[in-house]
Amino acid sequence: GAGVSQSPSNKVTEKGKDVELRCDPISGHTALYWYRQRLGQGLEFLIYFQGNSAPDKSGLPSDRFSAERTGESVSTLTIQRTQQEDSAVYLCASSPPGLAGNEQFFGPGTRLTVL
């Protein structure tokens, strides 16, 4: 079946511009996560959606970052007024419901470059 998809795969933008990154999770997966991965570093948790519950936004680094999810489907991560330090790979992951919910299925990521 189809895995997690992300678009665009690469995004180059100028400092100060807004960007939107999209994630399509696996059908039936109730949980969706966004992570940031800076070059040569580990995964930095950004935000977590679980079904219709209020999202856990505790990882968002500033109010320039926001994310939405429509039901249990597509999610969009928006970065406003981008800065050079926002350059990173943004990874999306989804998880099935229940006890297996800790296992994550990752998309290929969106590489964001802010000039």
Partner 1 sequence: AQSVTQPDIHITVSEGASLELRCNYSYGATPYLFWYVQSPGQGLQLLLKYFSGDTLVQGIKGFEAEFKRSQSSFNLRKPSVHWSDAAEYFCAVGASGGSYIPTFGRGTSLIVHP
CB of 13 within 8 A of CB of 110?
no
> Is position 1 an interface residue for partner 1 (rule: CB under 8 A)?
no
> Is position 20 an interface residue for partner 1 (rule: CB under 8 A)?
no
Structure tokens, 16: 């100060």
> Is position 42 an interface residue for partner 1 (rule: CB under 8 A)?
yes
Q: Which range binds partner 1 by CB under 8 A, 13-21, 61-69, 70-78, 87-95?
A: 87-95
Amino acid (1-letter code) at residue 110: T
> Is position 26 an interface residue for partner 1 (rule: CB under 8 A)?
no
Q: Is the bond into 8 cis (omega within 30 degrees of 0)?
A: yes
| Chain centroid to CA 115 | 21
> Is position 93 an interface residue for partner 1 (rule: CB under 8 A)?
yes
Q: Which of 7, 50, 76, 87 binds partner 1 (CB under 8 A)?
A: 50
